[in-house]
Amino acid sequence: MKTSTLVLAALAFTAAVVTVFAADPAENWEKLCVKCHGADGKGDTKMGKKMEIRDLTDAKVQAAFTDDHAFKAVKEGIKDGDKTKMKPADGLSDDDIKALVAKVRGFKK
């Protein structure tokens, strides 16, 4: 009984530490996404225009993809044949990516 309590306490502590050190979605957006998508998600940046980034504030654009598609795009990147359109967001946990997807959903007007 004591071993299972100790294991549960260790798992709870580990989860708390991971949560504390997880980056804020706004920080991840700033670090990984703003260059192309812009701070507001409109894609109105030099790189965004070059890559023909879609306006993430547009409800029709938002309706064109599911959260699962957005998650996969962030995790694995986006390719068009041999051309990389978006690099995968390395170093993010699944929870970090889910938080980014929620941030993207928040851009919809």
CATH for 70: 1.10.760.10
**pLDDT score, position 23:** 73
Q: Does residue 41 fall inside a structural domain?
A: yes
Integer Cα distance of 8 and 50 in angstroms = 50
Strands (E), the chain: 78-80, 83-86
Does residue 17 form part of some domain? no
Question: What is the overall mean pLDDT for the chain?
Answer: 86
Q: Which amino acid is at 15?
A: A
- State the average pLDDT over residues 31-56: 96
Report the pLDDT averaged over residues 25-49: 96
Asked whether residue 16 is domain-assigned, the answer is no
The span from the first CA to the last CA of the chain, in angstroms, equals: 53
Whether 92 is covered by a domain: the verdict is: yes
Is residue 61 situated within a structural domain?
yes
Query: Which residues form the domain of 83?
Result: 23-105
Count of beta carbons in the 10 Å neighbourhood of residue 11: 10
Residue with tokens 């041999």: 82
Does residue 47 sit within a domain? Answer: yes
* Domains contained in the chain, number: 1
Question: Structure pTM?
Answer: 0.76
